Structure 1
């Protein structure tokens, strides 16, 4: 009978472990390495101009708060329509009436721009263009309308720049792109109201989801932008997006990482946010994700100026606009190449 001393036994176990580890290590790779190897090569995509996107945000803010039923709201809407048309998009204006949580009868206006309309392969990009009528999260001026530089205008600014970029390309992506600026997203209850659908938020997207601008319209997937321009922004993998369109989340976050923006697109799951992508998923049945500035904090979920009078241009960073915009441009061209295979 052979007996092993504790030291000899430990040494043999160590040697055996190293042999197994070496063998296993030769045959396996980390998940990130596997993802990089399995992903198609990055195709060349055009440059997203962050300074141009910043100017698109500034232009909206120059109108003042874009609160529905006001003159600045109407003027900004006209500007959005004319800008999309200037870049070769066909435009549909979808008007509707609804009643807000506080009983205000609202005149809503969803603005839909379509690029490459003959192509049945379509990607949907959206943001809301209205701003909140009161600064309920402000400690001093709760009744003042929110300027909405980040909460609304930043996403619209990025999408206008994408429209401009697409219009300039000699070789355009072999997909259709639809841009929807949803209205009346931000006139919801000041506190969560479980008696109302989505607490009274997202009225424009709810209307569009139930009354598409083209009967039976569909898209391969959609991306919603919300609060995407602040300095030091972080974009966690939003909860409903992960539940309803996890493959799209993976594609966008992987693309962001591959082109150097993983410090913005954090590989971490965040909370579930009621936003315009929810009715698009549940009613329109189009898988849509939400790129939204959130952080896992017990103190504050959103950016510091959220729903306050301080949501102004001084907090908008072209670097953040660049990270989101360039990622989306890359996704569009990558998706065009993938669909062509």
Structure 2
């Protein structure tokens, strides 16, 4: 399997599993032929896209959430307060990683747990920090990235899920853990030589130092860049390799909900992201819902990725709705299965 860092060239590889038929390995598009599994969808609550959009806007209003800045601290405090208000048991995991370029960060992973005594747990996550420099601007800049999509969108979706769960008269009978990973986006694959090229510092720390030593989850779902207009979520390569059955289940539910124009039934590139340490070190099967563009080897992600233009203008409430409603349905399907 070839690595694809979030700011390097795209590499493709063929994942051989019993349910995949791949064509055109080695650089051509890889297609996936699947049969949609019929299932009865249980009643799930409604995901409010305007509320999720507000949560994205709230984060952006703090300014770029770069570690060691006042905006980062203020936004982190807001995330802790909001999860607590929605009845989640909150743990702040503070740590001090050293970046690839020698900077010491004041970082914290923020973990919110719903129904903490439940044995069956689902883990949902996104990173909440901003990239410290806009290296993908037409003229690379030392200006920090606003990070509306690459960071805030996933957090906004998860805050709305927390709000929705908290308002239901009948709560799902499973545990839900929301982790906002910090220090994800301070890497450089052109310079850093470690396995993650300086990225994913928060998820690496959590995977090796879980907030509860014996913590485990049935499965996990990572959100990354899930708010852009016209977003497409291909089946990310490592997710298929490490947790393919979960990918197929989530994409099937999205299709049954009418979101197959977002959740594309196509094999995508393998992306080094926060789900990798969760899979490889914490040993929890986690998939990555991440915006990647089809048939575009030069530009894998959305146009404003790692630029100063990753602003609220790029965020579409309908994309947030597609992702958030799908996740709520996944949670309530799992709760129904547990009740049977």
Same fold by TM-score greater than 0.5: yes
2:111 counterpart residue number:
112
Query: Distance in 2 between the 1:31 and 1:156 partners?
Result: 31
Question: Structure 1 residue 142: deviation in Å?
Answer: 1.6
Which one has the bigger helix percentage? 1
Task: Describe the SS at the equivalent of 2:105.
Answer: strand
2:264 counterpart residue number:
266
Counting matched residue pairs gives 307
Question: Structure 1 residue 196: deviation in Å?
Answer: 1.1
Q: Does structure 2 conserve the Cα–Cα contact (< 8 Å) formed by 1:225 and 1:292?
A: yes
Q: Are 2:249 and 1:246 aligned?
A: no
1:162-211 CA-to-partner distances (Å, cap 9, x unmatched) read: 00000000111110000000000000015264x21200100000000000
Query: Distance in 2 between the 1:305 and 1:74 partners?
Result: 25
Q: Does structure 2 conserve the Cα–Cα contact (< 8 Å) formed by 1:141 and 1:309?
A: no
Q: How does 1:118-137 map to 2 (within 5 A)?
A: 118-137=117-136
The TM-score with structure 1 as length reference comes to 0.88
Query: Distance in 1 between the 2:223 and 2:247 partners?
Result: 13
Unaligned segments of structure 1, at least 5 residues: 1-29
Q: Does structure 1 conserve the Cα–Cα contact (< 8 Å) formed by 2:189 and 2:198?
A: no
CA 1:244 to 1:181, structure 2 compared with 1: closer, same or farther past 3 Å? same
Query: Distance in 2 between the 1:97 and 1:63 partners?
Result: 22
Query: Distance in 2 between the 1:249 and 1:87 partners?
Result: 28
Task: Describe the SS at the equivalent of 1:126.
Answer: strand
Task: Describe the SS at the equivalent of 1:328.
Answer: helix
Task: Describe the SS at the equivalent of 2:97.
Answer: strand
Q: Does structure 2 conserve the Cα–Cα contact (< 8 Å) formed by 1:136 and 1:190?
A: no
Question: Structure 1 residue 339: deviation in Å?
Answer: 2.0
Task: Describe the SS at the equivalent of 1:99.
Answer: coil
Question: Structure 1 residue 141: deviation in Å?
Answer: 4.7
Query: Distance in 2 between the 1:113 and 1:222 partners?
Result: 14
Question: Structure 1 residue 340: deviation in Å?
Answer: 2.1
The TM-score with structure 2 as length reference comes to 0.89
Unaligned segments of structure 2, at least 5 residues: 1-32
1:32 counterpart residue number:
35
Query: Distance in 2 between the 1:155 and 1:322 partners?
Result: 11
1:328 counterpart residue number:
327
Query: Distance in 1 between the 2:73 and 2:317 partners?
Result: 27
1:126-176 CA-to-partner distances (Å, cap 9, x unmatched) read: 000000000011113521100000000000000000000000001111100
1:211 counterpart residue number:
209
Q: What RMSD over aligned residues (CA atoms) do the two structures have, in Å?
A: 1.2
Larger radius of gyration: 1
Query: Distance in 1 between the 2:54 and 2:102 partners?
Result: 35
Query: Distance in 1 between the 2:232 and 2:130 partners?
Result: 22
Query: Distance in 2 between the 1:181 and 1:323 partners?
Result: 20
Q: How does 1:1-341 map to 2 (within 5 A)?
A: 32=35, 35-36=37-38, 39=39, 41-189=40-188, 191=190, 193=192, 195-296=193-294, 297-341=296-340
Query: Distance in 1 between the 2:245 and 2:339 partners?
Result: 19
